Amino acid sequence: MRRVVLGLIPILMAAQVPRTWTDAAVAELEVPLANPASSPVHISEEAYYKIPERTLHKTYPVYHPDREPAGYQQWLKEQEPQVVFAPGETPSDWVRAGEIVFNAPTSFGPVFFSAEDVRDRKFYEETGMPVAADGTIPFANWVVRKKGQVELGSMGCNTCHTRVLSDGTTVPGAQGNNPGDRQGARMLRLGARFAGEDKILERIRGFAAQFEMPWLASDPNRRARSMPLDALIAAGEAIPPGVTARSNTSMFVPPQVPDLIGVQDRRFLDHTGLVRHRGIADLMRYSTLVQDVMGFARYGDLPPRATGPGIRYSDAQLYALAIYVYSLRPPPNPHRETEQTARGREVFEREKCHVCHAPPFYTNNRLIPAPGFRPPAKHKSLYGVMDRRVDTDPRYTLETRKGTGYYKVPSLKGVWYRGPFGHNGWVMTLEEWFDPARLRDGYVASGFRTGGRVPGHEYGLKLPPGDKSALLAFLRTL
Ligand code: HEC
Ligand code: HEC
């Protein structure tokens, strides 16, 4: 909200950067896991501030090979390394500095794609990697950390939280649409051919091991230990753009990438509402948690996954990043209000969608218990847990390290430019979300393929066709 950003100005002017990782704030940061004894215990304040800070170097756009300016690679080789992060005085200086952090790579080797891939026409044809109208790939960039050495950097926020619309517009912060997990699957397939199946199998099983939850009586994530390579590759290929098996999630029930535009109005972060969002410092904590220090957490008796010095964003980088994320705005909406959308708004109210998707944010910011989870009594007032159930697939919130037993009510803003929908991104379109066929056995969804029907959230499924199209037209104006 514009209001919030303006309200920050006096603080910005004084450049009062909050201290990100304090023991007190971190202790209350997260909603406990569904199995509370296994809730993560994070790295201490003292240990956090011993982690070295990330240096951010100037980055350069990556172009589709047909759109790269002549001599570009040679020119890059001649560039001096430059350290770029400098927040400055005014609020707009901070927004600009935050944009640098958002796009700053955290990885300099191949993750979803390699330096060779992004310069290979065939890679785009095979994976459908979107290209922006100006010929650039906003999901990655070239970096010069050492003169003469041009590296492909990725896994900044931009890799997952940037969307290229069908007209080539780049929308920073929107639900991403680079097919990352499919590109990763392709890399495994090629890797098996060149480096040998055993080596690749070991690598992918190592990746899958991070998702395991040994405290579950029957941990579905353990399946990866005995799955053949083809099945593991197929698991990656089942994940559409806009959904991704991020750390601490699961390859088998990966989450939808949320839209960050409007995040300042949400009280909980992640589909399971794991992380509380009490103010800007919590967004700073969230960012360093997922990018830098999640691996240092202890889960019950389970020792930390990561060792070693690690690396982290500085407090100033995180503050600038959070200010930038709060400043993000949706693209101009081509869907205007009409008689049909006015009727759709009436349907929305008549069907009581607003009870959960309450305007103006189109979420009431509350948590809903998943099937099979009994919320502790004190959670009701502490976190605003609703008595109602929506009955979507409980696995993401019961069988992953982000699982609280709840799903939050998502905001419906921006549904016209984003998708797939549902917490695992099962369906590609709103039409499909409101199609009762998805409830039937044997249904094959168009988004993340669970191998079965898409149960739950039965609201609006039985509407007469005229009401349904009016409702959808209304939703597209939000
Ligand atoms: C590898 C892909 C990836 C990268 C890189 C990434 N994210 Fe995310 N992000 C996700 C996914 C997937 C989720 C959903 C997780 C869930 O719901 O459990 C998410 C969730 C979030 C949320 C919660 C939003 C909400 O409404 O629930 C915020 C905020 C966020 N990311 C910010 C960032 C920032 C800032 C960065 C960079 C510092 C970043 N992310 C980097 C994939 C990514
Ligand atoms: C009892 C609360 C509740 C009611 C009532 C409700 N919803 Fe939802 N809605 C949710 C929850 C929770 C989710 C997330 C479900 C999931 O992904 O597991 C959701 C998801 C959605 C999504 C997908 C959003 C996305 O980004 O993936 C749409 C669209 C939606 N609802 C529209 C509606 C409409 C339209 C109505 C009325 C016909 C409605 N909802 C009624 C709670 C509710």
Residues flanking ligand 2, CB < 6 Å:
256, 348, 351-353, 355-357, 368, 388, 390, 392, 407, 409-410, 412, 415, 421-423, 430, 433, 457, 459-460, 471
**CA 178 to CA 164: how far, in whole Å?**
8
Query: Would you give the DSSP letter of residue 139?
Result: E
pLDDT digits (tens, 9 = 90+) for 107-128: 999 999 999 999 999 999 999 9
C-alpha distances (whole Å) from 186 to each of 19, 65, 190, 454 are 41, 19, 6, 27
3-state class (DSSP) for residue 72:
helix
Least confident of 101-105, 301-305, 343-347, 371-375: 301-305
What is the structure's pLDDT at 1? 44
**CA 447 to CA 233: how far, in whole Å?**
17
**CA 29 to CA 281: how far, in whole Å?**
10
Question: Which structural domains are found in the chain, ordered by start?
Answer: 339-365+409-475 (1.10.760)
What is the structure's pLDDT at 13? 44
Query: Would you give the DSSP letter of residue 82?
Result: -
Determine the distance separating the centroid of ligand 1 and the alpha carbon of 258, expressed in angstroms: 7
* CB-side neighbour CA atoms (13 Å) of 167: 6
**Whether residue 8 has pLDDT greater than 90:** no
For residue 407, list its beta bridge partners. Answer: 368
**CA 300 to CA 291: how far, in whole Å?**
22
Residue 463 corresponds to which tokens in the numbers above?
A: 């509407």
Residue whose CA is closest, atom 16 of ligand 1?
Answer: 270
Determine the distance separating the centroid of ligand 1 and the alpha carbon of 75, expressed in angstroms: 34
Q: Kindly state the average pLDDT of the residues 456-461.
A: 97
pLDDT digits (tens, 9 = 90+) for 198-235: 999 998 998 888 889 988 988 999 999 999 999 999 99
3-state class (DSSP) for residue 323:
helix
**Whether residue 181 has pLDDT greater than 60:** yes
Determine the distance separating the centroid of ligand 2 and the alpha carbon of 409, expressed in angstroms: 7
pLDDT digits (tens, 9 = 90+) for 327-383: 999 999 999 999 999 999 999 999 999 999 999 999 999 999 999 999 999 999 999
What is the structure's pLDDT at 12? 55
Determine the distance separating the centroid of ligand 2 and the alpha carbon of 338, expressed in angstroms: 23
**CA 350 to CA 361: how far, in whole Å?**
18
* Residue-averaged pLDDT of the chain: 94
Determine the distance separating the centroid of ligand 2 and the alpha carbon of 286, expressed in angstroms: 24
What is the structure's pLDDT at 307? 84
H/E segment holding residue 142: strand 136-146
pLDDT digits (tens, 9 = 90+) for 34-68: 999 999 999 999 999 999 999 999 999 999 999 99
H/E segment holding residue 187: helix 180-195
Q: Which residue has the higher pLDDT, 15 or 478?
A: 478
What band does 9 get if pLDDT is binned at 50, 70 and 90? low
Q: Which residue has the higher pLDDT, 12 or 82?
A: 82
What band does 14 get if pLDDT is binned at 50, 70 and 90? very low
What is the structure's pLDDT at 352? 97
Residue 107 corresponds to which tokens in the numbers above?
A: 């990885």
Residues flanking ligand 1, CB < 6 Å:
155, 157, 159-161, 244, 246, 249, 255, 257-258, 260, 263, 266, 269-272, 283, 286-287, 290-291, 321, 325, 402
**CA 131 to CA 162: how far, in whole Å?**
12
Q: Kindly state the average pLDDT of the residues 396-418.
A: 97
Determine the distance separating the centroid of ligand 2 and the alpha carbon of 282, expressed in angstroms: 25
pLDDT digits (tens, 9 = 90+) for 190-200: 999 999 999 99
Residues of the chain above pLDDT 70, percent: 97
